[in-house]
Amino acid sequence: MSFIEINNLRKSFGNTEVLHGLNLKIARGQLAALLGPSGCGKSTLLRAIAGLNSIDEGEIIIDGRRIDGLAPKDRGLGMVFQHYALFPNMNVLDNVKFGLEMKGVDKKTRDTEAKKMIDLVGLAGKEEAYPANLSGGQQQRVALARSLVTKPDVLLLDEPLSALDAQIRVQLRGLIKSLQAELGITVILVTHDQEEAMSMSDYIFVMNQGHIVQEGSPTYIYRHPQSEFATRFIGDYN
């Protein structure tokens, strides 16, 4: 059975339907990419999973539990966006601890868990630093630590690397892969970057205009692009 299952998900904004009845299945522990051009509906789908967008039709099931009626905080998810949403007035440690405070974890455990996670993302020693004094890559490391400290089952990433320099992007790709392995989390990565999807994911959903036009392993999709769109879109990658 799939760990994440989405059935017939539809979403409109006003009279415009942007997700046209999507079906996805993702196995536990995998990193699945939603790959497609700007405007195709990737963020809308991710936000629907997170509960930040309502849905008009369909169901979202994680680990056998229907989550689409639940409040965002009860869905067991962590999320990181393209633009670091860190609290500028809090240092790294407090930013990471924030998620645990919301959950009512006691002070001592909050401290130990946050420090462990800061260590795991490679920022040991930066606990007292403020976001303004960190590089873009370091800020995304903090954002990862903050979303993972609550031990979510699923991590949702919306173009988390696209604002970073090429070299830093490669480092962070490696970090995300190692966190996936070490923590055993299931990751959904939204990206318009073919190379990123190809190099990071276990499974790819190619999206276009609110539809999933193809899915499969990176090698499968590269070798057997099914639609003219997939050929054109994936063909840019080499």
Q: Which stretch binds Mg ion (CB under 5 A): 36-44, 69-77, 128-136, 149-157?
A: 36-44
With CB cut-offs between 5 and 8 Å by kind, which of ligand ADP, Mg ion, none does residue 99 bind? Answer: none
Of 106-145, which residues contact ligand ADP (CB under 6 A)? none
Task: In whole angstroms, give the CA distance from residue 180 to residue 20.
Answer: 30
With CB cut-offs between 5 and 8 Å by kind, which of Mg ion, ligand ADP, none does residue 87 bind? Answer: none
Q: Which stretch binds Mg ion (CB under 5 A): 37-45, 104-112, 174-182, 222-230?
A: 37-45
Query: Which CB atom, from 43 or from 95, has the smaller least distance to Mg ion?
Result: 43
Q: Residue type at 88? A: P
Of 15-54, which residues contact ligand ADP (CB under 6 A)? 18, 36, 38-44
Closest CA relative to residue 21, chosen from 32, 10, 36, 33:
10
Task: In whole angstroms, give the CA distance from residue 226 to residue 213.
Answer: 8
Number of residues forming the site for ligand ADP (CB under 6 A): 10
Q: How far is the CB of 237 from ligand ADP (least distance, A)?
A: 18
Task: In whole angstroms, give the CA distance from residue 28 to residue 21.
Answer: 23
With CB cut-offs between 5 and 8 Å by kind, which of Mg ion, ligand ADP, none does residue 95 bind? Answer: none
Task: In whole angstroms, give the CA distance from residue 131 to residue 138.
Answer: 9
Closest CA relative to residue 230, chosen from 222, 238, 112:
222
Task: In whole angstroms, give the CA distance from residue 43 to residue 191.
Answer: 9
Query: Which CB atom, from 44 or from 150, has the smaller least distance to Mg ion?
Result: 44
With CB cut-offs between 5 and 8 Å by kind, which of ligand ADP, Mg ion, none does residue 18 bind? Answer: ligand ADP
With CB cut-offs between 5 and 8 Å by kind, which of Mg ion, ligand ADP, none does residue 225 bind? Answer: none
Q: Are 62 and 153 in contact (CB under 8 A)?
A: yes
Q: How far is the CB of 18 from ligand ADP (least distance, A)?
A: 4
Of 121-150, which residues contact Mg ion (CB under 5 A)? none
Phi, psi of 48 (to 5 degrees): -65, -40
Other beta carbons within 10 angstroms of residue 66's beta carbon come to 11
CB neighbour list of residue 190: distance below 8 Å, 6 or more residues apart: 33, 34, 42, 43, 45, 46, 156, 157, 158, 159
Please tell me whether residue 43 binds Mg ion under the rule CB under 5 A.
yes
With CB cut-offs between 5 and 8 Å by kind, which of Mg ion, ligand ADP, none does residue 40 bind? Answer: ligand ADP
Q: What is the dihedral of CA 90, 95, 98, 100, to 10 degrees?
A: -150
| Residues binding ligand ADP (CB under 6 A) | 13, 18, 36, 38-44
